[in-house]
């Protein structure tokens, strides 16, 4: 049973925020906002790149490569952050005068993750002079070494946590390196790439490059839609710096100033672009972009983000839509087996503290989504494994964690205590990837369980539902819902406001396959409000006429050009 916990609200005022609605003030204070400047999302308020190690060196290397007309190859990753990072760097450097620039993204089924030694062979074939990794590379010790031995220069841009041994690149740009003083450690790969472009532009401008070459000075803000999509999709914490980047990108999307590829993704998803927010990106745009890397080749997604031709964008977006439908079907099949296993696990008197799942027919591109679903259901750290290939004896695992358990740190200790058990791994606090030998699965399960137990140190892993408290009846209206929507962007570590309260169920009915439409009445009987509960069936709610305690979000519902308040039900408490 989940535990309800209401967010603490300090008894202070937000400096400069006297004009804010009292509910917005309460929401902001509960998220640590004490000065209105923290939610004043202007690009001029972005953190300056002071202390961002490697930026100057990387920018100068890029400038030299452009001046010498060298072949620059961007090595990306096969997710939405990697795709947006790749497209951003290519667009930016092309606008700065790079004539010979291309990209290479490792197919996850052939090369695996990052700048591998095998991928360097492909870089040699295309005669790469300067290699720039985006959203990867911080663990690519062997790949960088091989590239350097072949005469290539290498710039690593990444945001993943670094290993003990760093690659010997010409420059490493990663805010999470131990000696880096850049204040935001939460940048996504695309955010790091944005800072690299800004520094490169600054270096070139100081050398009067644009005037001498009759080039218009590029406005990097025109590509902040890419930064917003990559940042939201990668689920990095939305600190104030990321919120500035995301807000600026969402404004471009909402005013239809976005790239043709992003516009086309909204079209195939059937989502209205004018009111795009973080949820629209996370639930509709990112999955379609990610689908290419999960099942096929992320080049489709990158080419979509690079094209300026609307017809080509529509055609590529349609391909991604088809691939995403295939991904859904594969995931549903995998989910059936996973659910049956979890059902058996949950019959036990007490759930284990960690869960490892494997099936020989699972698709390695979808195990991350499967792990997320199982984690949501069990509130346990989960690793789902699939075979690397039919011929291989290696398993690829995707890990998802819960708040309070740093999954990469767990894997570090598994590796330290059990040398040679894990072939390779990497990731964040909440998500990680790893490779093990198939015949060592049981040994890994035991080692993983031991380290999870050690890291938890007896702490409870009961699911906690954080609520922003009750909402007064007079504040349950469309205006307040619009104010909350405008007060974002919301996301990781700056969560969408969720409230709890008692309501009387006036009516309920099933809509679609597994959603419930309700009409709720406030306990003082003064208002009736429409509500929607995705993934719930009517029988899960109280009978009509009875009271129920719910956790919900205030949302703006648009239907036939009419806007109204709607409650989105997230949890049934009683």
pLDDT of residue 29: 98
**45-320: which CATH topology?**
inorganic pyrophosphatase (n-terminal core) (3.90.1640)
Report the distance separating Cα 107 and Cα 298, nearest Å. Answer: 8
User: Percent of the chain having pLDDT more than 70?
Assistant: 99
Q: Name the more confident of 206 and 361.
A: 206
Of all helices (H) and strands (E), which one includes residue 5?
Answer: strand 3-6
What architecture (CATH level 2) is domain 465-572? Answer: Beta Barrel (2.40)
Q: Where in the chain is the domain with CATH 2.40.50.460?
A: 465-572
Q: Is the pLDDT of residue 404 over 90?
A: no
408-439, pLDDT tens digit by residue?
A: 999 999 999 999 899 988 877 888 889 999 99
Confidence of residue 108 (pLDDT cuts 50, 70, 90): low
369-400, pLDDT tens digit by residue?
A: 899 989 988 899 999 999 988 788 999 999 99
DSSP 304-353: HHH---HHHHHHHHHHHHHHHHHHHHHHHHHHHHHHHHHHHHHTSSS--S
In this structure, the chain runs to a length of: 574
Q: Is the pLDDT of residue 15 over 70?
A: yes
46-101, pLDDT tens digit by residue?
A: 999 989 999 999 999 999 999 999 999 999 988 999 999 999 999 999 999 999 99
Confidence of residue 451 (pLDDT cuts 50, 70, 90): very high
Q: Where in the chain is the domain with CATH 3.90.1640.30?
A: 45-320
Q: Where in the chain is the domain with CATH 3.10.310.30?
A: 348-456
- Mean pLDDT (the chain) is 93
**348-456: which CATH topology?**
Diaminopimelate Epimerase; Chain A, domain 1 (3.10.310)
Q: What pTM was estimated for this model as a whole?
A: 0.91
Mean of the pLDDT values across residues 315-338?
90
pLDDT of residue 468: 98
Q: Which long-range contacts (CB under 8 A, 24 or more apart) does 423-426 make?
A: 423/394, 424/139, 426/113, 426/138, 426/139, 426/160, 426/161, 426/163
Report the distance separating Cα 474 and Cα 556, nearest Å. Answer: 16
Q: Is 69 helix (H, G, I), strand (E, B) or coil?
A: coil
Q: Is the pLDDT of residue 327 over 70?
A: yes
Report the distance separating Cα 196 and Cα 157, nearest Å. Answer: 8
pLDDT of residue 255: 95
Mean of the pLDDT values across residues 358-363?
91
Report the distance separating Cα 334 and Cα 338, nearest Å. Answer: 6
Pairing of strands 431-437, 422-427: antiparallel
pLDDT of residue 34: 97
Report the distance separating Cα 84 and Cα 191, nearest Å. Answer: 10
233-259, pLDDT tens digit by residue?
A: 998 999 999 999 999 999 999 999 999
pLDDT of residue 566: 97
Q: How far is CA 253 from the centre of its chain?
A: 18
pLDDT of residue 110: 66
Angle between helices 310-346 and 299-306 (to 10 degrees): 140
177-221, pLDDT tens digit by residue?
A: 999 999 999 999 999 999 999 999 999 999 999 999 999 999 999
Of all helices (H) and strands (E), which one includes residue 3?
Answer: strand 3-6
Confidence of residue 107 (pLDDT cuts 50, 70, 90): confident
Identify the sign of the CA torsion 161, 173, 116, 141. Answer: negative
pLDDT of residue 111: 64
């Amino acid at each position: 049973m989940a535990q309800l916990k209401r967010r603490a609200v300090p008894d202070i005022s937000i400096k400069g925020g006297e004009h804010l609605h009292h509910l917005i003030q309460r929401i902001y204070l509960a998220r640590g906002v004490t000065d209105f400047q923290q939610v004043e999302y202007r690009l001029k308020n972005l953190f300056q790149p002071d202390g961002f190690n490697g930026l100057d060196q990387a920018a100068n290397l890029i400038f030299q490569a452009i001046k010498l007309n060298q072949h620059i190859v961007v090595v990306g990753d096969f997710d939405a952050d990697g795709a947006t990072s790749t497209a951003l760097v290519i667009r930016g450097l092309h606008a700065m005068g790079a004539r010979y620039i291309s990209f290479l993204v490792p197919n996850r089924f052939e090369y695996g993750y990052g700048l591998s030694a095998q991928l360097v062979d492909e870089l040699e074939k295309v005669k790469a002079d300067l290699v720039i990794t985006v959203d990867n590379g911080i663990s690519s010790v062997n790949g960088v070494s091989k590239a350097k031995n072949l005469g290539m220069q290498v710039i690593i841009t990444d945001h993943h946590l670094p290993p003990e041994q760093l690659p010997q690149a010409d420059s490493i740009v990663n805010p999470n390196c131990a000696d880096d003083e850049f204040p935001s450690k939460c940048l996504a790969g695309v955010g790091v790439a944005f800072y690299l472009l800004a520094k490169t532009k600054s270096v070139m401008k100081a050398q009067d490059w644009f005037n001498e070459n009759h080039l218009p000075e590029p406005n990097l803000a025109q590509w902040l839609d890419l930064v917003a999509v990559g940042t939201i999709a990668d689920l990095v914490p939305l600190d104030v710096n990321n919120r500035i980047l995301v807000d600026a990108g969402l404004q471009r999307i909402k005013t239809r100033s976005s790239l043709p590829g992003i516009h086309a993704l909204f079209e195939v998803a059937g989502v209205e672009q004018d009111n795009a927010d973080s949820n629209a990106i996370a639930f509709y745009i990112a999955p379609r972009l990610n689908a290419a890397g999960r099942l096929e080749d992320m080049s489709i997604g990158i080419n979509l983000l690079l094209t300026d031709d609307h017809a080509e964008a529509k055609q590529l977006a349609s391909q991604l839509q088809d691939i995403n439908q295939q991904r859904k079907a594969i995931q549903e099949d995998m989910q059936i087996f996973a659910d049956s296993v979890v059902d058996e696990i949950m019959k036990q008197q007490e759930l284990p503290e960690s869960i490892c799942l494997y099936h020989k027919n699972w698709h390695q591109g979808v195990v991350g989504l499967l792990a997320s679903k199982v984690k949501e259901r069990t509130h346990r750290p989960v690793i789902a494994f699939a075979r690397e290939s039919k011929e291989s004896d290696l398993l690829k695992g995707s890990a998802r964690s819960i708040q309070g358990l740093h999954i990469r740190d767990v894997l570090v200790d598994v590796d330290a205590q059990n040398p040679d058990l894990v072939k390779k791994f990497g990731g964040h606090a909440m998500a990680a990837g790893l490779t093990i030998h198939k015949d060592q699965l049981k040994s890994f399960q035991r080692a993983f369980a031991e380290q999870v137990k050690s890291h938890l140190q007896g702490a409870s892993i009961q699911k906690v539902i954080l609520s922003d408290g009750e909402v007064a009846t007079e504040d349950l209206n469309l205006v307040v819902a619009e104010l909350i929507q405008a007060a974002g962007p919301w996301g990781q570590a700056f969560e969408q406001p969720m409230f709890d309260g008692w309501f009387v169920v006036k009516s309920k009915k099933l809509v679609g396959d597994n959603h419930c439409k309700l009409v709720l009445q406030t306990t003082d009987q003064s208002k009736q409000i429409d509500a929607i509960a995705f993934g719930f069936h009517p029988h899960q709610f109280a009978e009509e006429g009875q009271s129920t305690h719910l956790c919900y979000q205030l949302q703006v519902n648009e239907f036939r050009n009419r806007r109204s308040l709607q409650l989105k039900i997230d949890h049934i408490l009683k």
